[in-house]
Amino acid sequence: MNDMQRNSQESRKLTFSTEALGPEKWRDVVCGFYSGISLDWIQEQPRPAWLGLSRFADSQVMEIASARPVRVVSTPSPSWFQDTYNLALLAKGNCRSRHAGREEVWKAGDLMLFDSSQSFDIVHPANYHLLSWSLPRESVAKMIAAPDRSLGMRISGHSGIGAILADFVRALLIEARHLEPSEQSSMLTHLYGLIGLAVGASSEAHQSRRETQREVRRQQILSYVEARLTDPSLTAQQAAKDLKISQRWLHAVLERSGISFAAWVAQRRLEECRKILTNPAYDHLTIADIAFRSGFSNLATFNRRFRDYFEMAPRDVRYLAQRNVNRAE
């Protein structure tokens, strides 16, 4: 048993094996969970098989593995309709599938998107391991430019976006038990976006990726500012040069946060100055010392901005802090 199987079994709520139930009863259990599914052994050798079912946020994850060749056929009934897409990852083995007018041959690592409302026919030779994520149709569909044309199409999990998607699916399964419900929901949002990119992204998926890129860049800019906050020569021009981006892009990223680069630098410096002014350990410093040490190069500008931001003069903030300390003593 590999690490993925061992870790996923620990977090699984329901597990069924032929060793515990016997081959025929195990097959009945599998078909009972999925109406319209038929599962037929291609060979009758007594080899082990197991099924695992678990929840991940608002999705259901199924794992199925068998040392015996098997054919799985789905014929959905209108009386039992699941409004889902199923993302399948062949973790081990190979198989042949027919779905949505396509016939494909998979190998280990490949993925495919299925529509639960349409029939499929999959033949697995011996020794296979399949992961299937049942995902809300609406959440997946809005990330795909042409959902109907993306069904039943083999997605190579060996390079490019397909490889990233396959690794992400495996990682989610392994780490599921360590994630809070809110974190699982957040991870599913990323999964939907990756599916969209892998099969042909809609404008919404591209927008989701752009938003992620913007947020990463925004955090880089803010971290850069924090590291150089006391440097009086800190400018947007220098930041853009050091971060290897254009000034226009730097300003555009911060603009979506509702603040300019210069305003953010000034705000952070003022906040740091106030912390120092209210800390008795720095009572030996003059207000000018504090202003210059925090990155301001002009005392008059510092005083004016401090009053505008905190609606108090720096000396009044210090006085009140000192008085409170004296009272406490």
What CATH number is associated with residue 172? 2.60.120.10
Shared-domain flag, residues 165 and 216: no
Q: Do residue 7 and residue 141 come from a single domain? A: yes
Would the pLDDT of 103 be above 70?
A: yes
Q: 47-91 pLDDT, tens per residue?
A: 799 999 999 998 999 999 999 899 999 987 665 556 899 999 999
On whether both 223 and 123 belong to a single domain, the answer is no
| Structure confidence by residue, pLDDT tens digits, 158-190 | 888 888 899 999 999 888 888 888 889 888 988
Domain closes at, from 139, 166, 201: 201
Mean pLDDT for the stretch of residues 30-51: 83
Q: Which of 298, 301, 292 is nearest to 273 (CA)?
A: 292
Structural domain boundaries enclosing 286: 210-328
Whether residue 286 is found in the same domain as residue 309:
yes
CB 36 within 8 A of CB 76: yes
**Domain count of the fold of the chain:** 2
Residue 53 backbone dihedrals phi, psi, to 5 degrees: -125, 135
Residue predicted with more confidence, 237 or 45: 237
> Both 93 and 233 in a single domain?
no
Rg (alpha carbons) of the chain, rounded to whole number: 29
pLDDT above 60: residue 206: no
Mean pLDDT of the chain: 86
- Residue 6 banded pLDDT, cuts 50, 70, 90: very low
Last residue of a domain, one of 150, 178, 201: 201
CATH of the domain at 225: 1.10.10.60
Is residue 47 located within the same domain as residue 146?
Answer: yes
pLDDT of 157 over the 50 cut: yes
User: Residue 32 in contact with residue 9, Cβ under 8 Å?
Assistant: no
Residues 178 and 244 in one domain: no
Residue 328 confidence (pLDDT) above 90: no
Q: Please, are residues 28 and 67 in contact by the beta-carbon 8 Å criterion?
A: no
